[in-house]
Amino acid sequence: MIPLKKGPEIEGMRRSCRSVSEILERLSALVEPGVSTGELDEAAAVMIREAGGKSPFFGYRGFPGHICVSVNEEVVHGIGGKRKLAYGDIVKLDVDKNPEVTRRYGILNIPTLGVFKDGQVVKELVGARSKSRLLDELADFI
């Protein structure tokens, strides 16, 4: 059974998602060749704290990151570290800041994938896709 949400619950979900969207937008602006995945994770930790949130990823079953930042062959749950982004990398950012809202309402923050070429985002993909559809959309860049 799926519980129906009421006005205040929907508004709480809306506020949480809006805040995470703003963090993703700010974080995406930092993604460029030469930046390490660890630097992105550290920046996200600051942004999440500034927004009054707490990363549900950090410490979950020992997970050391505040976000998941996956590059190229890393499908999901990439851990920020020393890896530097390069031209042509496909970068996925998965951000959340409110574990209580996420658990209570089942919100899944949809990751963004950016395809970089010559230091510019040349294609942005938002949302879940099948592997074949994703590969079709990336064919010009792979």
The pLDDT tens digits for 16-54 are 778 888 888 888 889 888 999 999 999 999 999 998 888
Do the domain assignments include residue 78?
Answer: yes
Alpha helices by DSSP H, listed for 29-130, are 37-50, 99-105
Q: What is the pLDDT of residue 138?
A: 59
Do the domain assignments include residue 71?
Answer: yes
Assess whether pLDDT exceeds 70 at residue 88. Answer: yes
Contacts of 111 (CB under 8 A, 6+ apart): 68, 92, 93, 94, 126
Which residue range(s) make up the domain with 117? 7-138
Q: What is the pLDDT of residue 130?
A: 47
User: With a threshold of 0.85, does the pTM exceed it?
Assistant: no
Q: How many domains does the chain have?
A: 1
Q: List strand residue ranges (DSSP E) for the chain, in order.
A: 68-71, 90-94, 112-117, 120-126
Do the domain assignments include residue 1?
Answer: no
